Structure 1
Amino acid sequence: MSRAAGSSSGAALAVGAALGLGAAAAAALAVALLSGQKGNKAQPLTKEAWKEAHDEGGRIVDFAGILEQIRMGGCHPDVREEVWPYLLRLVSPSSTAEQRSTLKADLARRYSDLLQRCQDLETSLDSAVVRTGSSVAVAENAGVGRSVPAHLAQFAEAQRIIVLDAIRTDLLQPDAASESSHRTNGAMNGLVPSADRRGGGPWLGRVAEETLMNATHLSPASRKAAARLIHLLSAYAVHDPETGYCQGMSDLAAPFLTIFEDDSMAFWCFERLLQRTSKNFRHDETGMREQLRGLARVLEQADPVVFHHLRQIGAGECFFAYRMVIVQLRRELPMAQAVTLWEILWADEYWQRLGSWTPPSLSWPSSGSWGSFDKNLSSLGGREDYQAAGSAPELLLFFIAAVALRQRRRLIDDCRDQDDTLRLFNSLRVDLWGSLRTARGLQRSLAAQYQPSSSVY
């Protein structure tokens, strides 16, 4: 170790000791915080490097090397549309170009089937409303009439929330070339009313049509983007009715529609992301509590002083990080940086588990009616347990811990109750690369000694 490095580490450890940290925790914190102060971000995966990684048949030759580059520097925007299906395990790195073409056709067919099921459900809902005299357009929280079948009421309520969230979601404005590639003819600035479709375009429900038509604050491009988002989220609610649609999903879905021109690929990549994060959307919130407990353990072991302070002010359950966990830092980072973080997290997790994945099956379950898909028999090869019980947390939780520890002084000096921590973290603008370096320092220092059974409350 150089004299300068040794001096810096010694000073950091001295500070840690003065603040009341144990030797191990002080060392971990010193390593992590010093890691966040130095070094430049790595270079992203480029179009040239991605092209060179394939053999003549289209297989990736050194996928571990590709993952290593992405987990350190992310991807150049030019390659995301091609790379993300691999990172999300929708496509196998050993697949040929011909196999991927077959898979893509199947994915498009399945997505079209899901939108057709949405249209069939809306038709059934309209018939049920007419038959029973129930009203769909009732008070905002009242749902539909009790005499309407439960699965149709569920569909109607999901549609209402999806449409409201879609017109409020911040989507990147497509450039002229992108906009022209999605341009269609018809009313509503390119959105064709369902009465005029007759099989000639994707379903867009009555509620969505009326809402978009009246959303005069939206530009034509924004209306098209909102319609695509409604398609995607409605299809997911039908595909996975056990989870359905939950608020926050629109924030996760929007980036896929800015990156993928092909809506079916955007949908199935989003579906793979939801396989990783669906536990966060459980109605009983057990998944979120598990995540927040994991974060609390990291903070407790990395910086007992900060964590003790959080417990003293009633913030030991880390609810200040709720939004960061559920939408994966989507609100705390600009979209361009958020998607870079996502691909780094995906590549890191994949790199850690190389050799343990089975490519998705091309044998699809039957369509059937609402609810016929078994959540545990996903049409893309089955859901995966992305984190074994009792294992060290994934990089995301270390990243969020790093964000918190980089606010160490403000947490201790300025936060006197849980509301103060919520205000602090709701107004943060996160330093992506500095926080990532700190997170990796924490991961290296704490992963080996992580104690999942430690009591943090």
Structure 2
Amino acid sequence: MQFAMLRWVVQIIEVAGGRWTIWYEDVGRWNAFAVIGFTAIAGLALLGTLIVTTSRRGGLKSPWSQRRRKKSLLLRQWKNLFTSDGKLRDSVTFLKNVRSGGVDHDIRHEVWPFLLGIYDLNSSDVERNRIGKQKRKEYKNLRKKCRNFFKAGDINGVKIKDAVIGSRESNDGCISFMPENELEAKQSISIEGEQSDDPEKLLLDSDIGIVEKENSDITHVDTKSLDSDSEEEFPVIYTPTVEETELQNVKISHKRDSSKIAEDFTIWQRIIRLDAIRANGEWITYSPSQAAISEGIAYKHAEEVGLKDYKHLQPCRIFHAARLVAVLEAYTVYDSEIGYCQGMSDLLAPIISVMEEDHEAFWCFVGFMSKARHNFRLDEVGIQRQLKIVSRIIKFKDAHLYNHLEMLQAQDCFFVYRMVVVLFRRELTFAQTLTMWEAMWADQAAIRAGIGKSWGLIRLRAPPTEDLLLYAIAASVLQKRKTIIERSISMDEIISECNSMAGQLDEWKLLDDAYDLVVRFHHKIS
């Protein structure tokens, strides 16, 4: 037979312990050498694959970009995360799920208070109910103070001239002391939309607004290491909890003279109302219940906060504007050192579209602003620190691009000023913004909870960082490196290029690339 000519015959094929075992006749040493040879070839092929994959990471092609994106956290999964007394079973798994897939829109109103530190990750139902009642009462007292300030203040008699002497006025609503080219970048965060015809529009005849007169000597809360264990794989720098930050803010605010706060409040109040009227309606499709609000209810809320010139708006947008006014006014009283600056309404709008109770929206905003408040400091120390981090990331990742920026005297990365101040709100769509912010909040929640070593097991081993958004901003610039190098010959052109990113970005690709940058450079940046 033909098989006999091959000089080897399969003598026995049997199944032993679930594995096929084969004996060959008349194979001898040839079979042994063949097995070794094939094994060596397979090993070399595997090594080559690893080398290629590793080299790709240098080009900002994160392995996450090649995998199927996880689904967002759903209601059923969310409910299964809790014990019978309402405590989270596994906060690490919860935060990782949010980080890698986001949150389903239907449960965001339940999840966000955990991410923003309103509720502790280890809290029970009973504790959260108690905290909820307390927060509602505190918000009610803040709104009462707002009404008292409004009654006591002479809006038409407020003098603001002294607030702008020796300063440069910018149309983002903040007093500025910066060079011309930097001012131009900062002006790009100004509120877009229809201008109000209110005769009391505060110095906005030429798109110029003055927001606040504040003491720039704001005390920073000292940070220290949360965990002294030197064996921790990813050391986490301690930052104050939301509760600690709130206490610090309240102490600062209470030190200020109440008459000075009342005077500032009347200024902030006017600009808040203007910004609220001009807020866009991008949120409407994501909040059906608020979109269906009746005209009567909308008008009632508008009158309660003293809103003017709103009848040209849809009822839902009037209602939205009234809620913006109520929450932002309360925040200026709560944190009078920061007060109000244009751009804050951009950060609050997504929150009130998700949180339907004003007191819940307010405290979520407080949690958000515990990190973002430094974006609105008059001395801009917080902004400068963040721009410096973006610059360093770009320098470490792409020396060629950084050298080009140096040649244009743009290495300070002021062209991403708008992205930093309003946290990508203008560059991403409404839905993309929420996904990006949730990933950022998940990292911040992990750090608050002291999660470090266990988080190191996450894919790509990217540790939680307070600066995830800055890595994403750097990634967006790196994605445009070719255009910037070949076409940009001035700071103005780079600013234009960055502003043109609006609506063109993929939030998951940004996060993929941001995590890749965290893996590679977090030890140099932190």
TM-score by length of 1: 0.76
Count of residue pairs brought into register by the alignment? 377
What is the CA distance between 1:4 and its match in structure 2?
4.5
Paired residue for 1:326, among 401, 417, 421? 421
Q: Does 1:29 align with 2:58?
A: yes
Q: Deviations over 1:258-302 (max 9, x none)?
A: 111111101100011001111111101111001100111111111
CA distance in 2, matches of 1:139, 1:332: 28
Gaps of 5+ in 2: 1-45, 159-198, 212-257, 453-463
Paired residue for 1:157, among 246, 267, 281? 267
CA distance in 2, matches of 1:86, 1:176: 21
**Structure 1 stretch displaced more, 99-108 or 292-301:** 99-108
**Aligned partners of 1:296 and 1:316 also within 8 Å:** yes
Paired residue for 1:191, among 300, 304, 307? 300
Does 1 or 2 have the higher relative contact order (CA < 8 Å, sep 6+)? 1
2:48 aligned partner, one-letter code: R
What is the CA distance between 1:89 and its match in structure 2?
0.9
What is the CA distance between 1:355 and its match in structure 2?
3.3
What is the CA distance between 1:330 and its match in structure 2?
0.9
**Aligned partners of 1:174 and 1:221 also within 8 Å:** no
Q: Does 1:6 align with 2:43?
A: no
Q: Deviations over 1:170-209 (max 9, x none)?
A: 24126795138855846xx533575xxxxxxxx413xx2x
With over 3 angstroms needed to count, the CA separation of the structure-2 counterparts of 1:168 and 1:443, relative to structure 1, is same
**Aligned partners of 2:202 and 2:271 also within 8 Å:** no
CA distance in 2, matches of 1:89, 1:437: 25
TM-score by length of 2: 0.66
**Aligned partners of 1:68 and 1:351 also within 8 Å:** no
What is the CA distance between 1:7 and its match in structure 2?
3.7
**Aligned partners of 1:57 and 1:97 also within 8 Å:** yes
Q: Does 1:344 align with 2:439?
A: yes
Q: Does 1:167 align with 2:277?
A: yes
With over 3 angstroms needed to count, the CA separation of the structure-2 counterparts of 1:46 and 1:2, relative to structure 1, is farther
- Name the structure 2 match of 1:78: 106
Paired residue secondary structure (1:33)? coil
Q: Deviations over 1:52-94 (max 9, x none)?
A: 0111111111111101111111111111111111011110122
CA distance in 1, matches of 2:506, 2:96: 22
CA distance in 2, matches of 1:234, 1:350: 27
CA distance in 1, matches of 2:76, 2:365: 26
1:204 aligned partner, one-letter code: V
1:443 aligned partner, one-letter code: V
CA distance in 1, matches of 2:62, 2:329: 46
Paired residue secondary structure (1:331)? coil
- Name the structure 2 match of 1:399: 472
- Name the structure 2 match of 1:59: 87
Paired residue for 2:66, among 22, 38, 43? 38
CA distance in 1, matches of 2:201, 2:373: 30
With over 3 angstroms needed to count, the CA separation of the structure-2 counterparts of 1:409 and 1:193, relative to structure 1, is closer
Paired residue for 1:179, among 290, 304, 307? 290
Paired residue for 2:305, among 189, 194, 204? 204
With over 3 angstroms needed to count, the CA separation of the structure-2 counterparts of 1:243 and 1:350, relative to structure 1, is same
**Aligned partners of 2:293 and 2:316 also within 8 Å:** no
2:309 aligned partner, one-letter code: T
CA distance in 1, matches of 2:521, 2:210: 48
CA distance in 2, matches of 1:296, 1:127: 43
1:95 aligned partner, one-letter code: S
CA distance in 1, matches of 2:288, 2:99: 30
Q: Does 1:104 align with 2:132?
A: yes
CA distance in 2, matches of 1:222, 1:173: 8
- Name the structure 2 match of 1:283: 378
Q: Does 1:418 align with 2:446?
A: no
Paired residue for 2:203, among 134, 140, 144? 140
CA distance in 1, matches of 2:287, 2:73: 26
Q: Sequence identity of aligned pairs in percent?
A: 32
**Aligned partners of 1:36 and 1:436 also within 8 Å:** no
What is the CA distance between 1:40 and its match in structure 2?
2.7
What is the CA distance between 1:154 and its match in structure 2?
1.1
Paired residue for 1:443, among 505, 514, 518? 518
What is the CA distance between 1:349 and its match in structure 2?
2.8
CA distance in 2, matches of 1:261, 1:152: 28
Q: How does 1:243-322 map to 2 (within 5 A)?
A: 243-322=338-417
With over 3 angstroms needed to count, the CA separation of the structure-2 counterparts of 1:226 and 1:60, relative to structure 1, is same
- Name the structure 2 match of 1:19: none
RMSD: 2.9
CA distance in 1, matches of 2:340, 2:374: 13
CA distance in 2, matches of 1:344, 1:176: 21
Paired residue secondary structure (2:513)? helix
With over 3 angstroms needed to count, the CA separation of the structure-2 counterparts of 1:143 and 1:61, relative to structure 1, is closer
Gaps of 5+ in 1: 13-27, 131-135, 195-202, 358-390, 453-457
CA distance in 2, matches of 1:53, 1:7: 39
What is the CA distance between 1:116 and its match in structure 2?
1.2
Larger Rg: 2
With over 3 angstroms needed to count, the CA separation of the structure-2 counterparts of 1:151 and 1:253, relative to structure 1, is same
Paired residue secondary structure (1:212)? coil
**Structure 1 stretch displaced more, 41-50 or 268-277:** 41-50
Q: Deviations over 1:340-395 (max 9, x none)?
A: 111111112322453379xxxxxxxxxxxxxxxxxxxxxxxxxxxxxxxxx97621
1:179 aligned partner, one-letter code: Q
CA distance in 2, matches of 1:248, 1:323: 9
CA distance in 1, matches of 2:347, 2:155: 33
